[in-house]
Structure 1
Amino acid sequence: MRMLLLLVSLWGLSGCTGMPDKVTPVSGFELNRYLGTWYEIARLDHSFEAGLSQVTAHYSMREDGGVSVLNRGFSAEDKHWQQAQGKAYFVEDPNTGYLKVSFFGPFYGAYVIFELDKQDYQYAFVSGPDTDYLWLLARTPDIEQEVIQKFEQMAKDRGFNIDQLIYVEHASAPKQQANPASAGSAE
Protein backbone atom coordinates (compact mmCIF):
# COMPACT_ATOMS: atom_id res chain seq x y z
CA MET A 1 0.00 0.00 0.00
CA ARG A 2 2.83 2.44 0.84
CA MET A 3 4.49 1.72 -2.49
CA LEU A 4 1.22 2.46 -4.29
CA LEU A 5 0.87 5.78 -2.45
CA LEU A 6 4.49 6.65 -3.27
CA LEU A 7 3.98 5.87 -6.96
CA VAL A 8 0.76 7.89 -7.10
CA SER A 9 2.51 10.81 -5.36
CA LEU A 10 5.47 10.67 -7.73
CA TRP A 11 3.15 10.51 -10.73
CA GLY A 12 1.27 13.58 -9.43
CA LEU A 13 4.49 15.54 -8.94
CA SER A 14 5.82 14.64 -12.37
CA GLY A 15 2.56 15.83 -13.93
CA CYS A 16 3.39 19.37 -12.78
CA THR A 17 6.42 19.45 -15.07
CA GLY A 18 4.39 18.60 -18.16
CA MET A 19 3.18 21.19 -20.62
CA PRO A 20 -0.02 22.01 -22.53
CA ASP A 21 -0.61 19.84 -25.61
CA LYS A 22 -0.09 22.64 -28.15
CA VAL A 23 2.98 24.15 -26.46
CA THR A 24 6.47 23.30 -27.69
CA PRO A 25 9.59 24.65 -25.96
CA VAL A 26 12.04 26.66 -28.02
CA SER A 27 15.21 24.97 -29.22
CA GLY A 28 18.60 26.64 -29.52
CA PHE A 29 18.08 28.13 -26.04
CA GLU A 30 21.10 29.88 -24.46
CA LEU A 31 20.78 30.15 -20.69
CA ASN A 32 23.59 32.69 -20.27
CA ARG A 33 21.71 35.10 -22.55
CA TYR A 34 18.47 34.50 -20.61
CA LEU A 35 19.95 35.28 -17.19
CA GLY A 36 19.29 38.66 -15.60
CA THR A 37 16.15 40.66 -14.95
CA TRP A 38 12.87 40.29 -16.84
CA TYR A 39 9.74 42.42 -16.42
CA GLU A 40 6.38 40.71 -16.31
CA ILE A 41 4.27 42.40 -19.00
CA ALA A 42 1.20 40.13 -18.90
CA ARG A 43 0.01 37.06 -17.02
CA LEU A 44 -2.90 34.86 -16.21
CA ASP A 45 -3.53 35.72 -12.57
CA HIS A 46 -2.93 33.39 -9.61
CA SER A 47 -3.23 33.73 -5.87
CA PHE A 48 0.56 34.02 -5.53
CA GLU A 49 0.62 37.11 -7.79
CA ALA A 50 -2.82 38.60 -7.12
CA GLY A 51 -2.74 42.37 -6.78
CA LEU A 52 0.97 42.73 -7.54
CA SER A 53 2.38 45.41 -9.82
CA GLN A 54 5.95 46.04 -10.99
CA VAL A 55 6.56 42.29 -11.10
CA THR A 56 10.05 41.18 -12.11
CA ALA A 57 11.93 37.91 -12.28
CA HIS A 58 15.68 37.80 -11.80
CA TYR A 59 17.58 34.69 -12.95
CA SER A 60 21.17 33.88 -12.00
CA MET A 61 23.37 30.78 -11.88
CA ARG A 62 23.47 28.51 -8.86
CA GLU A 63 26.62 26.71 -7.74
CA ASP A 64 24.97 23.34 -8.49
CA GLY A 65 24.42 24.29 -12.16
CA GLY A 66 20.77 25.22 -11.70
CA VAL A 67 19.20 28.65 -11.89
CA SER A 68 18.34 30.90 -8.95
CA VAL A 69 14.97 32.59 -9.33
CA LEU A 70 13.90 35.74 -7.49
CA ASN A 71 10.40 36.97 -8.27
CA ARG A 72 9.35 40.37 -6.85
CA GLY A 73 6.24 42.47 -7.01
CA PHE A 74 4.70 45.43 -5.21
CA SER A 75 1.45 45.02 -3.28
CA ALA A 76 -0.43 48.33 -3.30
CA GLU A 77 -2.86 46.93 -0.71
CA ASP A 78 -0.08 46.07 1.76
CA LYS A 79 2.19 48.90 0.56
CA HIS A 80 5.31 46.75 0.45
CA TRP A 81 7.37 44.51 -1.80
CA GLN A 82 6.74 40.78 -1.84
CA GLN A 83 9.25 38.29 -3.13
CA ALA A 84 9.58 34.57 -3.71
CA GLN A 85 12.89 32.75 -4.08
CA GLY A 86 13.19 29.56 -6.02
CA LYS A 87 15.38 27.34 -8.11
CA ALA A 88 15.09 25.89 -11.59
CA TYR A 89 16.67 23.03 -13.54
CA PHE A 90 16.44 21.86 -17.11
CA VAL A 91 13.91 19.08 -17.73
CA GLU A 92 15.54 17.97 -20.96
CA ASP A 93 18.79 19.35 -22.35
CA PRO A 94 20.21 22.86 -21.76
CA ASN A 95 19.51 23.85 -25.37
CA THR A 96 15.74 23.48 -24.88
CA GLY A 97 13.71 26.20 -23.12
CA TYR A 98 12.02 23.70 -20.81
CA LEU A 99 12.77 23.93 -17.10
CA LYS A 100 11.19 22.90 -13.84
CA VAL A 101 11.00 25.51 -11.10
CA SER A 102 10.41 25.15 -7.37
CA PHE A 103 9.44 27.70 -4.76
CA PHE A 104 8.18 25.10 -2.29
CA GLY A 105 10.75 22.45 -1.41
CA PRO A 106 10.52 19.31 -3.49
CA PHE A 107 7.51 20.46 -5.55
CA TYR A 108 8.31 21.55 -9.10
CA GLY A 109 6.24 23.12 -11.84
CA ALA A 110 6.96 23.47 -15.53
CA TYR A 111 8.51 26.62 -16.98
CA VAL A 112 8.21 26.31 -20.75
CA ILE A 113 9.56 29.06 -23.01
CA PHE A 114 7.53 28.60 -26.19
CA GLU A 115 8.54 31.81 -27.96
CA LEU A 116 11.70 33.85 -27.58
CA ASP A 117 13.33 36.78 -29.31
CA LYS A 118 16.38 34.69 -30.21
CA GLN A 119 18.26 37.58 -31.78
CA ASP A 120 18.38 39.86 -28.72
CA TYR A 121 16.53 37.93 -25.95
CA GLN A 122 14.22 40.93 -25.42
CA TYR A 123 10.94 39.02 -24.87
CA ALA A 124 9.79 35.53 -23.91
CA PHE A 125 6.42 33.78 -23.88
CA VAL A 126 6.26 31.31 -20.98
CA SER A 127 3.79 28.59 -20.08
CA GLY A 128 3.39 26.52 -16.96
CA PRO A 129 2.23 22.88 -16.82
CA ASP A 130 -1.22 23.67 -18.24
CA THR A 131 -3.19 26.50 -19.86
CA ASP A 132 -3.85 28.16 -16.48
CA TYR A 133 -0.26 29.49 -16.37
CA LEU A 134 0.98 32.03 -18.90
CA TRP A 135 3.41 34.97 -18.87
CA LEU A 136 4.81 37.53 -21.27
CA LEU A 137 8.24 38.66 -20.06
CA ALA A 138 10.44 41.41 -21.46
CA ARG A 139 13.77 43.06 -20.68
CA THR A 140 12.09 46.45 -20.30
CA PRO A 141 8.78 47.41 -18.65
CA ASP A 142 7.44 48.61 -22.02
CA ILE A 143 7.14 46.48 -25.12
CA GLU A 144 6.03 47.04 -28.71
CA GLN A 145 2.36 46.48 -29.50
CA GLU A 146 3.35 44.00 -32.23
CA VAL A 147 4.92 41.71 -29.60
CA ILE A 148 1.78 41.89 -27.47
CA GLN A 149 -0.37 41.01 -30.48
CA LYS A 150 1.93 38.10 -31.34
CA PHE A 151 1.79 36.91 -27.72
CA GLU A 152 -2.01 37.07 -27.62
CA GLN A 153 -2.38 35.24 -30.95
CA MET A 154 0.14 32.50 -30.12
CA ALA A 155 -1.42 32.03 -26.66
CA LYS A 156 -4.94 31.85 -28.10
CA ASP A 157 -3.80 29.33 -30.75
CA ARG A 158 -2.43 27.15 -27.93
CA GLY A 159 -5.64 27.14 -25.90
CA PHE A 160 -4.95 29.88 -23.33
CA ASN A 161 -7.86 32.12 -22.30
CA ILE A 162 -6.46 35.50 -23.37
CA ASP A 163 -9.63 37.26 -22.15
CA GLN A 164 -8.30 36.65 -18.62
CA LEU A 165 -4.89 38.26 -19.22
CA ILE A 166 -3.71 40.90 -16.76
CA TYR A 167 -1.33 43.56 -18.04
CA VAL A 168 1.08 44.51 -15.27
CA GLU A 169 1.63 48.13 -14.26
CA HIS A 170 5.22 49.19 -13.74
CA ALA A 171 4.97 52.89 -12.83
CA SER A 172 2.86 53.17 -9.67
CA ALA A 173 5.01 51.38 -7.08
CA PRO A 174 8.12 52.68 -5.29
CA LYS A 175 11.39 51.74 -6.97
CA GLN A 176 12.73 48.33 -6.04
CA GLN A 177 16.32 47.63 -5.11
CA ALA A 178 18.85 48.19 -7.85
CA ASN A 179 20.22 44.65 -7.47
CA PRO A 180 17.33 42.22 -6.84
CA ALA A 181 19.77 39.36 -6.22
CA SER A 182 21.02 41.13 -3.10
CA ALA A 183 17.55 41.03 -1.54
CA GLY A 184 18.20 37.58 -0.16
CA SER A 185 19.81 34.31 -1.02
CA ALA A 186 18.15 32.24 -3.71
CA GLU A 187 17.19 28.70 -2.93
Structure 2
Amino acid sequence: MLLYFVTLSCLLVAAKTQVFSLGKCPTVKTQESFDINKYLGDWYEIYKFEASFEGKQKCIRANYQMKSDGHIRVENTGIEDGKTITATGDGFAPDKNVPAKLEVKFSDKAPYGKYWVLDTDYDHYTFIYSCTDLAGLSHIEFAWILSRERTLDDQYKTKLFDLATSYGIKTSNFLTEEQTGCA
Protein backbone atom coordinates (compact mmCIF):
# COMPACT_ATOMS: atom_id res chain seq x y z
CA MET A 1 0.00 0.00 0.00
CA LEU A 2 2.88 2.36 0.79
CA LEU A 3 4.44 1.68 -2.62
CA TYR A 4 1.11 2.47 -4.29
CA PHE A 5 0.84 5.78 -2.38
CA VAL A 6 4.42 6.79 -3.22
CA THR A 7 3.95 5.92 -6.91
CA LEU A 8 0.66 7.83 -7.07
CA SER A 9 2.25 10.85 -5.36
CA CYS A 10 5.15 10.87 -7.82
CA LEU A 11 2.75 10.69 -10.77
CA LEU A 12 0.72 13.60 -9.42
CA VAL A 13 3.82 15.74 -9.00
CA ALA A 14 4.98 14.86 -12.54
CA ALA A 15 1.52 15.60 -13.93
CA LYS A 16 1.74 19.17 -12.72
CA THR A 17 4.74 19.78 -14.98
CA GLN A 18 3.51 17.91 -18.06
CA VAL A 19 0.36 17.85 -20.16
CA PHE A 20 -1.63 14.69 -19.41
CA SER A 21 -5.05 14.08 -20.92
CA LEU A 22 -7.58 11.27 -20.85
CA GLY A 23 -7.97 9.00 -23.85
CA LYS A 24 -5.62 8.14 -26.65
CA CYS A 25 -3.33 10.54 -28.51
CA PRO A 26 -5.01 12.62 -31.20
CA THR A 27 -4.46 11.46 -34.75
CA VAL A 28 -2.15 13.96 -36.45
CA LYS A 29 -0.49 14.20 -39.84
CA THR A 30 3.13 15.19 -40.30
CA GLN A 31 4.34 17.40 -43.10
CA GLU A 32 4.50 15.33 -46.29
CA SER A 33 7.39 16.84 -48.23
CA PHE A 34 9.78 17.47 -45.35
CA ASP A 35 13.36 18.51 -46.24
CA ILE A 36 15.71 18.21 -43.26
CA ASN A 37 18.39 20.27 -45.01
CA LYS A 38 16.06 23.30 -45.19
CA TYR A 39 15.15 22.72 -41.52
CA LEU A 40 18.72 22.87 -40.17
CA GLY A 41 19.98 25.92 -38.30
CA ASP A 42 18.61 28.04 -35.46
CA TRP A 43 15.01 28.06 -34.21
CA TYR A 44 13.62 30.01 -31.23
CA GLU A 45 10.96 28.63 -28.91
CA ILE A 46 7.86 30.85 -29.02
CA TYR A 47 5.10 28.62 -27.60
CA LYS A 48 5.36 25.33 -25.73
CA PHE A 49 3.47 22.83 -23.62
CA GLU A 50 4.81 22.59 -20.08
CA ALA A 51 7.77 20.22 -19.91
CA SER A 52 9.60 19.50 -16.67
CA PHE A 53 12.88 18.86 -18.49
CA GLU A 54 12.97 22.49 -19.66
CA GLY A 55 12.81 23.84 -16.12
CA LYS A 56 12.20 27.59 -15.84
CA GLN A 57 14.40 28.57 -18.76
CA LYS A 58 13.84 31.54 -21.02
CA CYS A 59 15.41 32.50 -24.35
CA ILE A 60 15.38 28.88 -25.53
CA ARG A 61 17.08 28.33 -28.87
CA ALA A 62 17.38 25.04 -30.75
CA ASN A 63 20.14 24.50 -33.28
CA TYR A 64 20.03 21.54 -35.68
CA GLN A 65 23.09 20.38 -37.65
CA MET A 66 23.61 17.32 -39.84
CA LYS A 67 26.17 14.83 -38.56
CA SER A 68 28.40 12.65 -40.73
CA ASP A 69 26.42 9.52 -39.76
CA GLY A 70 23.18 11.00 -41.16
CA HIS A 71 21.81 11.80 -37.72
CA ILE A 72 21.06 15.33 -36.53
CA ARG A 73 22.93 17.11 -33.76
CA VAL A 74 20.38 18.91 -31.60
CA GLU A 75 21.66 21.63 -29.30
CA ASN A 76 19.15 23.41 -27.08
CA THR A 77 20.26 26.43 -25.05
CA GLY A 78 18.36 28.57 -22.61
CA ILE A 79 18.91 30.91 -19.69
CA GLU A 80 17.92 29.97 -16.15
CA ASP A 81 18.80 32.13 -13.14
CA GLY A 82 21.19 34.13 -15.32
CA LYS A 83 23.14 31.04 -16.42
CA THR A 84 23.23 29.49 -19.88
CA ILE A 85 22.00 25.89 -19.88
CA THR A 86 22.85 23.66 -22.85
CA ALA A 87 21.50 20.22 -23.72
CA THR A 88 22.93 18.33 -26.68
CA GLY A 89 21.02 15.48 -28.25
CA ASP A 90 20.78 13.19 -31.24
CA GLY A 91 17.95 12.98 -33.73
CA PHE A 92 17.09 10.92 -36.79
CA ALA A 93 14.21 9.83 -39.00
CA PRO A 94 13.73 6.07 -38.46
CA ASP A 95 11.60 5.74 -41.60
CA LYS A 96 13.00 7.60 -44.64
CA ASN A 97 9.52 7.41 -46.23
CA VAL A 98 8.15 9.61 -43.43
CA PRO A 99 11.01 12.10 -42.88
CA ALA A 100 8.99 14.50 -40.68
CA LYS A 101 8.56 11.78 -38.02
CA LEU A 102 11.85 12.33 -36.26
CA GLU A 103 13.03 10.87 -32.99
CA VAL A 104 15.30 12.71 -30.54
CA LYS A 105 17.06 11.91 -27.28
CA PHE A 106 19.31 13.91 -24.97
CA SER A 107 20.93 11.11 -22.98
CA ASP A 108 22.54 7.81 -23.89
CA LYS A 109 20.48 6.28 -21.08
CA ALA A 110 17.16 7.63 -22.40
CA PRO A 111 15.04 6.21 -25.19
CA TYR A 112 14.33 8.27 -28.28
CA GLY A 113 11.19 10.38 -28.10
CA LYS A 114 8.87 11.50 -30.87
CA TYR A 115 9.67 14.80 -32.57
CA TRP A 116 7.07 15.06 -35.29
CA VAL A 117 7.04 18.11 -37.54
CA LEU A 118 3.39 18.80 -38.27
CA ASP A 119 4.03 21.94 -40.30
CA THR A 120 6.93 24.18 -41.26
CA ASP A 121 7.66 26.74 -43.96
CA TYR A 122 11.41 26.53 -43.08
CA ASP A 123 11.73 30.35 -43.05
CA HIS A 124 9.35 31.52 -40.34
CA TYR A 125 7.76 28.75 -38.25
CA THR A 126 7.69 25.11 -37.30
CA PHE A 127 5.15 23.15 -35.26
CA ILE A 128 6.50 20.10 -33.43
CA TYR A 129 4.32 17.57 -31.64
CA SER A 130 4.93 14.51 -29.51
CA CYS A 131 2.35 12.28 -27.88
CA THR A 132 2.62 8.97 -26.07
CA ASP A 133 -0.35 6.78 -25.16
CA LEU A 134 -0.38 5.48 -21.60
CA ALA A 135 -2.16 2.13 -21.56
CA GLY A 136 -4.87 3.49 -23.85
CA LEU A 137 -6.42 5.36 -20.91
CA SER A 138 -4.51 8.60 -21.10
CA HIS A 139 -1.66 10.26 -22.93
CA ILE A 140 1.15 12.71 -22.38
CA GLU A 141 1.73 15.48 -24.91
CA PHE A 142 4.50 17.89 -25.77
CA ALA A 143 4.22 20.61 -28.40
CA TRP A 144 6.40 23.46 -29.52
CA ILE A 145 6.01 26.30 -31.98
CA LEU A 146 9.38 27.68 -33.02
CA SER A 147 10.40 30.61 -35.17
CA ARG A 148 13.54 31.60 -37.05
CA GLU A 149 13.35 34.91 -35.13
CA ARG A 150 12.72 35.62 -31.44
CA THR A 151 9.17 36.69 -32.37
CA LEU A 152 6.46 35.15 -34.53
CA ASP A 153 3.96 37.06 -36.62
CA ASP A 154 0.36 36.58 -35.46
CA GLN A 155 -0.67 35.18 -38.87
CA TYR A 156 1.55 32.14 -38.25
CA LYS A 157 0.33 31.74 -34.67
CA THR A 158 -3.27 31.75 -35.91
CA LYS A 159 -2.48 29.24 -38.67
CA LEU A 160 -0.70 26.84 -36.29
CA PHE A 161 -3.26 27.16 -33.48
CA ASP A 162 -5.99 26.42 -36.04
CA LEU A 163 -4.05 23.35 -37.18
CA ALA A 164 -3.66 22.16 -33.58
CA THR A 165 -7.37 22.64 -32.95
CA SER A 166 -8.25 20.67 -36.11
CA TYR A 167 -6.34 17.69 -34.64
CA GLY A 168 -7.92 18.02 -31.20
CA ILE A 169 -4.77 19.44 -29.61
CA LYS A 170 -5.78 21.95 -26.94
CA THR A 171 -4.14 25.30 -27.67
CA SER A 172 -4.96 26.39 -24.10
CA ASN A 173 -2.00 24.19 -23.08
CA PHE A 174 0.46 26.45 -24.91
CA LEU A 175 2.59 28.73 -22.77
CA THR A 176 4.33 31.76 -24.24
CA GLU A 177 8.11 31.49 -24.05
CA GLU A 178 10.09 34.53 -22.89
CA GLN A 179 12.39 35.67 -25.69
CA THR A 180 13.25 39.19 -24.46
CA GLY A 181 16.43 40.26 -22.72
CA CYS A 182 18.32 37.44 -24.40
CA ALA A 183 22.02 37.89 -25.05
TM-score (norm 1): 0.75
2:160 is paired with a residue whose SS is helix
Amino acid at match of 2:153: E
Distance 1:35 1:123, change over 3 A: same
1:70 is paired with a residue whose SS is strand
Match status 1:48 vs 2:53 = yes
Amino acid at match of 1:146: Q
2:54 is paired with a residue whose SS is coil
Shift of 1:55: 0.6
Structure 2 residue aligned with 1:162: 171
Distance 1:43 1:112, change over 3 A: same
Residue 78 of structure 2 contacts residue 84 of structure 2 at CA under 8 Å; is this kept in 1?
yes
Residue 30 of structure 1 contacts residue 95 of structure 1 at CA under 8 Å; is this kept in 2?
no
Amino acid at match of 2:156: V
Shift of 1:161: 2.4
Q: CA RMSD in A?
A: 1.8
Percent of residue pairs bearing the same amino acid type = 26
1:107 is paired with a residue whose SS is coil
Distance 2:114 2:159 in 1: 22
2:126 to 121, 124, 127: 124
Structure 1 gaps, min length 5: 1-18, 176-187
Give 4+ residue runs of structure 1 displaced > 6 Å after superposition. Answer: none
Amino acid at match of 2:102: L
Distance 1:70 1:45 in 2: 19
Structure 2 gaps, min length 5: 1-23, 133-139
2:116 to 109, 112, 115: 112
Shift of 1:79: 1.8
2:63 to 58, 66, 76: 58
